[in-house]
Amino acid sequence: MGKELFTAQQFIEAIPGTGGIITAIARKVGCAWHTAKKYIDNYATIQRAYQDECESILDLAEAKVISAIKDGDSQMIRYYLSTKGKRRGYSEKVETEQRVIVEWAYGDDPAPGDAPEATRKAAGNRSEPGQAQGDRGGPEGGEDDAGGNDGVREGA
């Protein structure tokens, strides 16, 4: 970095009251947005002042939410419960649990603890589960497809 045109103290003094808006900080200091962003990112003291300002605005917003809830604002109550009350079961998402059982149809059963990927490699990487032997999924239909029928077997 060359000679600095601004001091850390200028940024620290400019941050309060900006709500953490970098454009507002830059205007108060008298620099470009990118310059303000560079100073915030590169100086721990400025970064701490910036984070404090952002947190104070978040606290203010939360206080407004609580005030609206106390005033009986049903939309705000619903919003608060769907975010902060999620751990108590209030959520707009439906969460489901699903169990899937996969059976492998290769010649020999794998040894206990062998992964299916290891079984495919040991089997010469024959075909993926669910694919017929010779059907590699490509446009040519696989090696066993002498009839040019795009991998479709007769009688299937």
Distance CA 69, CA 130 (A): 54
User: Which residue from 23, 22, 26 is spatially nearest to 10, judged by alpha carbons?
Assistant: 26
pLDDT of residue 152: 45
Would you call 95 helix, strand, or coil by DSSP? Answer: coil
**Is pLDDT of 2 > 70?**
no
Domain boundaries, the chain: 8-88, 100-130
Q: For residues 78 and 148, which has the higher predicted lDDT (pLDDT)? A: 78
What is the mean pLDDT of the segment spanning 83-92? 83
The band of 70, judged by pLDDT with boundaries at 50, 70 and 90, is: very high
pLDDT, averaged across the chain = 78
Task: Report if pTM > 0.75.
Answer: no
